[in-house]
Every structure is written in C-alpha cells, then in structure tokens.
Amino acid sequence: MNVEEQAPDKTGKNKTSYSQLEMMVIASSRLLEDQERVLVGTGLPLVGAGLAKKTHAKDMVVIMEAVAFDSNPQSLPFCVADARAVYKTRWVPTAAEVMGHFLQGGRIDVGYLGGAQVDQYGNLNSTCIGDYYSPTKRFEGSGGASDIAALAKKTIIIMAHEKKRFVETVDYITSTGWKCRSYDGKSLVYRWELGLDGGPFAVVSTMGVMKFDANTHKMYVDYYYADLGVTLGEIINATGFDIDTSRAKPMEPPTLLELELLRTKVDPEGIYMKY
C-alpha cells in the first residue's frame, strides 16, 4: 500500500494510512445491518453506529438510552444523554420507554457496548478492577449495560485488546455473557438456564474480531488486522486465556469512503478517535 501518493485529509493523515483504533471502529460498524434497531452505549459505540448510518445501514434505527429514537446527529454526542443526539430524531423517549417498551419488550436487535474487561464467554465488566468492596479502580458502572446484555437479541462489544482486558475471569460481571453466575452465585451456568435469550455476538478489538463457538460458546478469533501487521501470535500473547485462532482470516482493510466519513463526518473533532 503506497500511502505517500495519497494526499492527507483534514486530520493530517494520509487517506490510506489508518490506525488500529480506526480499524476497530470500522470493523464493528460493518457488523451492524440495515433496518436493525441498535441500542448504543457511550463512547466508541456512538462512533461505530454513526459510521454505519452513513455507509451501508442508512435505515438502521439508532436508539440512545436517555434521549433519542432513530438518532442521526449532525455532530457527535459526548454521551447517550447529550441533547445534540436529538437533531432530526423522530422521537425523544424517556429512559423508561427505551429500557421498558423496547428493550424489555424484545424490540432491540443489537446492544452495542464497551467495557473494561471481557472474558472467554463474553461476560463484560464496567464496574471495578479488584474486589468490589475494596477495588483498585472503580468505573462508572452498569448504566443500562446490564439490561442491554441480558435482553437484546445480540450484543456487540468493542474494546482495546490487552491481556489486562481480555481475562480468564472478569473481576465483576456487569453484563452477562454466554456463561455467568447462577442466581445463588455458587456456580457458572449458561445464560438460558437463567431464562435469558440473546447473547454476545462479537467482540471487536484493536487486533481483530472475535466470535463465539456455537457449541462451547467460547471466544475464538474470526478476523485479524493483518494489513496493520497484527499476527495471531500477538493476539494470543495479548489474551489472558487460551483462544482458538484456527479459524482466523485477514480483515478487509478500510475503504477510502469509510476513512473519509469517519474522519470528516462522524468524529471530525477526534472526541473518541484521538486523531
């Protein structure tokens, strides 16, 4: 790939030169489909959903937990309660209407979440690192993430790929994956034993896209960013549990249109992309 021949865009980057962060957001946006109802969390999910709306999923309905139904903001909101999200939205629902009527009613196709830790079964931690009562670090907590992971038809998780994040067992289960704690907390059970439908569909990281085996429900590598020099060995070393790489395929690099829209239309200020 000859990046020298490409003129830099307004972010100062060559159009065909891109980062792992950009590839992660683009890869996650490609998993979203037209006409789906997608309930997005704060941060990178807002960026990925915005990119999908401007590329291949123009009729996808983006729902923000506290402010907007079918959001298509002119500029990127800072959070799911940012008033900028209501620009040209069809409806401004209450959180009770979003979480009750849509989510509990089984009307959300995709829950799009971030977090601090994820384990091999897709359990997500956005609560704390270390013991709950004496943590080394405490985060903002669940918000609606626990409800979304439990009740959406499928969940997409997006996060940086590091051993401290991809762990054998999360320090706290904020959002349920495929195999989580029983109601009495004494054992691990599959989510359907708790009466839950849905489940994690993919984990998109700065190294690749992970899916979950249909039989064991354990995480495996589906795609990796070979064009950026990422190797399967690096993914193994950056994962805190044994992960299957036998099915891994190189990810298709971003198109010039995806990069241009991401940089100039979706997050031109670099609020989340950090240009």
The burial class, CB within 10 Å (0-12 / 13-18 / 19+), for 253 is middle
HSE-up of 125 (CA within 13 Å, CB side)?
Answer: 26
> CB neighbours of 200 closer than 8 A, spacing ≥ 6?
121, 122, 149, 154, 155, 156, 157, 177, 178, 212
The first and second tokens of residue 44, run together, are: 């990178």
Secondary structure E strands in the chain: 37-40, 61-64, 68-69, 110-113, 117-118, 124-125, 128-131, 134-138, 154-158, 179-181, 188-190, 200-204, 208-212, 219-224, 249-250
Structural element, H or E, at residue 150: helix 145-151
**Of 2, 40, 47, whose CA–CA distance to 274 is shortest?**
47
Whole-angstrom Cα distance, residue 52 to residue 64? 15
Secondary structure E strands in 55-174: 61-64, 68-69, 110-113, 117-118, 124-125, 128-131, 134-138, 154-158
In the residue annotation, 269 being an active-site residue is answered as: no
Q: CA torsion, points 147, 149, 152, 155, in degrees to nearest 10? A: 150
> CB neighbours of 5 closer than 8 A, spacing ≥ 6?
none
Q: Which of 22, 36, 65, 258 is catalytic?
A: 65
- Active centre residues (catalytic): 65
